[in-house]
Amino acid sequence: MRETVTIARPHAKPRALTEPRWVRYTLTALALGFLALFLLIPLVAVFWEALSKGFGTYLASFHDVYAWHAIKLTLIVVAASVICNGVFGITAAWAITKFSFRGKSLLLTLIDLPFAVSPVIAGLIFVLLFGLQGVFGPWLRDHDLKMIFAVPGIVLATMFITFPFVARELIPVMQSQGTEEEEAARVLGAGGWRIFWRITLPNIKWGLLYGLILCSARAMGEFGAVSVVSGHISGRTNTLPLHIEILYNEYQFVSAFACASLLTLLALVTLVVKSLVEWHTHRIEALAEAEAFEDRPEGADSPHQPLHPHRDHP
């Protein structure tokens, strides 16, 4: 039997602890106005421009060999970076949260690096490494391999930009969960893989899902780094964002915004998933708290009593 625990919350706030009504309304209006100007209007503008010549023209924008190729290449790049960075994120989070070792903060700083490095520099370092004048350039040419102005370079640059996301999502989640459950499983004789699949993964799946979604959203939209290493060869090395740039510069605004609307929809899906994951984790936390409350021995505070009995303020 589960009884609902209600925590009494006075509806009317004491006046000294909030602002006068007109201040509250003004501040809310200012904040919402700012967000509407910077977030909502640009969002609406993308779809408005894409559909400005009607739905037929909108759909016709995708009947284009180059657009299709750009979409396919983008999907390949996303798949490659999500798989590699997912594996990296899980192993890095495992090493960082389950053990204490020297140089951990240095490792954490390294993982944060792409957040502080300009995407153009991310592209530049791969050009310097694999370009014709680069460190491995002559060797690659002798073996007839191409990294820069080709798909491998695009994948590498995208991986560089997006590798922190899964790790950064998982580290706090695994840190807060501690190591007790895994240690118990170990003591009971479970092997490493079994501990991971049966204990750790179920605990981190929501954080992992959000990390992977965030990683794929960024991989899909990466522009600066990819722009440097791709060489903009239509039908060969153009990802969707680069294709949008070319269309825009050719004044094909409807097509440019049509492709942009596709990426915008995916961005909105990311936001929805994020909200769902947050809602889910909050619910689990609230449930765990309520259960911990119920499990207290008889004779302690009865669950019907509010946690902090509030007296109504005069």
- Minimal distance, residue 144 CB to another protein, in Å: 21
Q: Which is nearer to another protein, 59 or 265 (CB)?
A: 265
d(CA 165, CA 95): 16
Q: How far is the CB of 196 from another protein (least distance, A)?
A: 8
* Residue (69 or 94) nearer to another protein, CB: 94
- Nearer to another protein by Cβ, of 196 and 303: the residue is 196
Both tokens of residue 58? 């909108």
Closest CA to 218 of 115, 91, 110: 115
Nearer to another protein, 69 or 167 (CB): 167
In the complex, least distance from residue 99 CB atom to another protein, rounded to whole angstroms? 5
Question: Closest distance between another protein and the C-beta of residue 247, in Å?
Answer: 9
In this complex, which beta carbon is closest to another protein, that of residue 137 or of residue 303?
Answer: 137
In the chain, the largest separation of any two C-alpha atoms, in whole Å, equals 85
User: In the structure encoding, which two tokens stand for residue 294, read together?
Assistant: 């119920």
Q: Position of tokens 């003591």?
A: 187
Q: What is the DSSP string of 6-58?
A: -----SSPPGGGS--HHHHHHHHHHHHHHHIIIIIHHHHHHHHHHTTTHHHHH
> In sequence order, what are the residues at sequence separation of 6 or more whose Cβ sits closer than 8 angstroms to the Cβ of residue 178?
none
CB of 5 to another protein, least distance (A): 21
228, 157 Cβ separation under 8 angstroms: yes
Q: Could you tell me the smallest distance in angstroms from the CB atom of residue 293 to another protein?
A: 20
Nearer to another protein, 131 or 207 (CB): 131
